[in-house]
Structure 1
């Protein structure tokens, strides 16, 4: 039972952050809470992110905007390990709606920097920095940056990860105004080859305005299932943070809905499938 404390504490921390501007929408091309694993130096990996807004808003909010109702998104994410603490990655995004058809959804580049697990042991500490550009169909701002701290705990039985994300546009009317967009994830390993848990994402508004009022916040909660090896697996020890197998798979499936007056995605299904080579 004591191992559940870190998971519950981190999830509770995100649940109480509501205060007094409109909140920037959550990045729906990357519905993921980061952990501190990185690829080995020279090791290549690729992930495919997909999600669909089963039911969402149909209103065009600006010229060229594509509403998210029944939108399917796909993101290809190749990444390579540089050192034991640095990984570089690229996102190539696309989307499809019944009305607009298939379209390019923009790109991002990232650098993920972590404290190696041989030092941090079961705790997770790191920072992910991204810069990218999305078309006007998705965001009015265009170029944007993201700072994603990684804080958490993981062992063979439980995981708790918190990403207190700060995002801001580099171009557009709100350039360099910082938005708070936290994400959190917790799971329990069933020891049957998979873990069951929850994920939470939010767009809470401008930091310099004391965040947005509840009516303008966006929240998204999902029930998730992840591939997870048994606690006695050789991949679980905090020896190097990479695992011992060159052929590592990642599988995540989650289903949930937005809540709150400003929620843009009433029901959503997402998957992540990844492989390290």
Structure 2
């Protein structure tokens, strides 16, 4: 068996477990303020990824993903987010990939917990040419803490596939974590980790798991803006080898503007 065929066969065994690189982000516990809208653009490019069309699924190599995320604050402890995923690749042009909706609640600030805690649930669809598992459901607990100049966050996400070849896998486990340090009031730099261990009750062998480690920088230029950039490496055969990502977000407070006019 040639190396090319072997690599393709290995990817078939693992691709169903790898999460799409459309919105690469470790969530913090805070929700968007009520009567405010957060608009984010997630831009991710894969310089070195999977290079073959397998079971009608497009390769990830040299794919550019642009994801529009709109998050509306409902109360001081709840929000609703909506995603539009797109992909651009030589030979396929710009394509709509799918949509997700994500309501989230958090422990209210008035409770004065020593750590930040929130929970999101995300339901969505992706076209089969980009993900063989087309309908998915995720529950993502979110825990974070600011300790001096250090910021730490952990997202032990649980996933359930509703339609696709992995529907019998059961509950999947896809944790994410972040550690960042405030070098200045503006610059926070550190690392983000993302993984997909397949089933939570029967994890895949390590070479079939998705593992990604990103070196990232966050620029805190203003409370209204979110800026995050990073470069990630995937050391396992189930993971794209190199990914470059960026997040640009802007908060719009339409409720306050209205009251100011009155």
Q: Return the TM-score normalized by structure 2.
A: 0.86
1:54 to partner: Cα distance? 0.7
1:24 to partner: Cα distance? 1.0
Alignment correspondent of 2:36: 43
Aligned match of 2:216 in 224, 229, 244?
Answer: 224
Are 2:178 and 1:185 equivalent residues in the alignment?
Answer: yes
Q: Verify the 8 A CA contact 1:66 1:100 in the aligned structure 2.
A: no
Give the alignment's Cα RMSD to 1 decimal.
1.8
| 3-state SS of paired residue (2:234) | strand
Alignment correspondent of 2:73: 81
Q: Distance in 1 between matches of 2:61 and 2:38?
A: 31
Higher relative contact order (CA 8 A, sep 6+): 1
| 3-state SS of paired residue (1:215) | helix
Structure 1 pair 173–26 and aligned structure 2 pair: CA distance change class (3 A) = closer
Aligned match of 2:188 in 195, 199, 207?
Answer: 195
Structure 1 pair 135–174 and aligned structure 2 pair: CA distance change class (3 A) = same
* Structure 1 gap segments, 5+ residues each: 1-20, 230-244
| 3-state SS of paired residue (1:25) | coil
1:171 to partner: Cα distance? 1.3
Q: Distance in 2 between matches of 1:48 and 1:120?
A: 32
Q: Return the TM-score normalized by structure 1.
A: 0.81
Structure 1 pair 62–120 and aligned structure 2 pair: CA distance change class (3 A) = farther
Q: Verify the 8 A CA contact 1:189 1:228 in the aligned structure 2.
A: no
Are 2:243 and 1:250 equivalent residues in the alignment?
Answer: no
Alignment correspondent of 2:248: 273
Structure 1 pair 33–80 and aligned structure 2 pair: CA distance change class (3 A) = same
Q: Distance in 1 between matches of 2:130 and 2:111?
A: 40
Alignment correspondent of 1:207: 200
Count of residue pairs the alignment pairs up: 238
Q: Verify the 8 A CA contact 1:54 1:267 in the aligned structure 2.
A: yes
Q: Distance in 2 between matches of 1:212 and 1:120?
A: 39
Are 2:24 and 1:34 equivalent residues in the alignment?
Answer: no
Q: Verify the 8 A CA contact 1:56 1:266 in the aligned structure 2.
A: yes
1:52-108 residue CA offsets vs partner (Å, 9 max, x unmatched): 001111122212x11000000010011111111110010011001112111001000
Alignment correspondent of 2:126: 134
Are 2:35 and 1:59 equivalent residues in the alignment?
Answer: no
Q: Verify the 8 A CA contact 2:18 2:238 in the aligned structure 1.
A: no
Q: Distance in 2 between matches of 1:38 and 1:192?
A: 22
